[in-house]
Structure 1
Amino acid sequence: MSASLGAVLLMICLLQIKHMFADFYLQTPKMLSGRGEYFHWGRAQHAGVHIVGSVLVFMLFGAPWSFILIIAALEWIVHFNIDFAKASYSDKKQLVPSQAAFWRAAGLDQCLHNLTYVAMVWAWAQFAA
């Protein structure tokens, strides 16, 4: 069975809404502090919050568990590393919200996450729909 355009667009919308909540409403002080360190437990937890949301979206669309587990593991790795790269760069450059470079880094971070969702939905349409 192939995925309909409506299903693809709905899935992208749901992943975007999940992203908004996970990135802007559900981050704790632990998740936000010390983000320039690579092995940061708070970043791991933050990526885990994203995974929970994505798992729910893929379950809603009836994706097989084997697909969900693989896509969740890949998303966790990608999300963790995108966030580390932004945090590391921002720390090295000592960026603050009053600088344009801060917003460019934040924008690139969000763009990469959005492209991750496009890849995830493509994978779902190709292998699980």
Structure 2
Amino acid sequence: MTDPVTFALVLLFLLQVKHLFADFYLQTPRMLANRGVYMHVGRLQHAGLHGVGSLVAMVLVGVPVWLALVVAIAEWIAHFHIDWGKGWWSEHTGHDPSQGGFWRAFGLDQAVHQWTYLIMVWAVLP
């Protein structure tokens, strides 16, 4: 893909599709448990799923494997910490889906993930 605009839009689309599946369809009970615990195996797995999906998306659009791997590892670390922050906040505030605080935390979490994808696309632009 030689046109940088097309490259960026296709990669962003693939990252968003990956996010939809990894965040809403492929989470296991282990990934959903103990969201406020920092070093939780389920969160490591969940963030790893995101990293692997992003690696695949980047390679599909022609990002060199070494660069895609570096960016995917960075996303794994970022995703882990974004989700831990939301989990910690949710456990400490006790907000549930019937309260605005829950939805504000959820919205911020999703926005930060999308901003991460914008940074990732920028980092691998040809």
Gaps of 5+ in 1: none
TM-superposed deviation, 1:13: 0.8
Q: 2:28 is aligned with what amino acid?
A: T
In the TM superposition, 1:1-129 aligns within 5 A as: 3-125=3-125, 129=126
Residues of 1 paired with 2:63 and 2:9: CA distance?
16
Residues of 2 paired with 1:5 and 1:80: CA distance?
29
Q: 1:52 is aligned with what amino acid?
A: V
TM-superposed deviation, 1:3: 4.6
Q: 1:30 is aligned with what amino acid?
A: R
TM-superposed deviation, 1:4: 2.1
TM-superposed deviation, 1:2: 6.2
Residues of 2 paired with 1:123 and 1:116: CA distance?
10
TM-superposed deviation, 1:6: 1.4
Residues of 2 paired with 1:108 and 1:82: CA distance?
10
The 3 A distance-change label for structure 1 pair 3 and 121 is farther
Runs of 4+ in 1 over 3 A off after TM superposition: none
Between 58-67 and 106-115, the greater mean CA deviation after superposition? 58-67
TM-superposed deviation, 1:114: 0.1
Residues of 2 paired with 1:52 and 1:30: CA distance?
18
* C-alpha distance after superposition, 1:87-106 (max 9, x if no partner): 00000001100000000000
Residues of 2 paired with 1:107 and 1:77: CA distance?
20
Residues of 2 paired with 1:86 and 1:58: CA distance?
27
Residues of 1 paired with 2:11 and 2:68: CA distance?
14
The count of aligned residue pairs is 126
**Helix, strand or coil for the counterpart of 2:27?**
coil
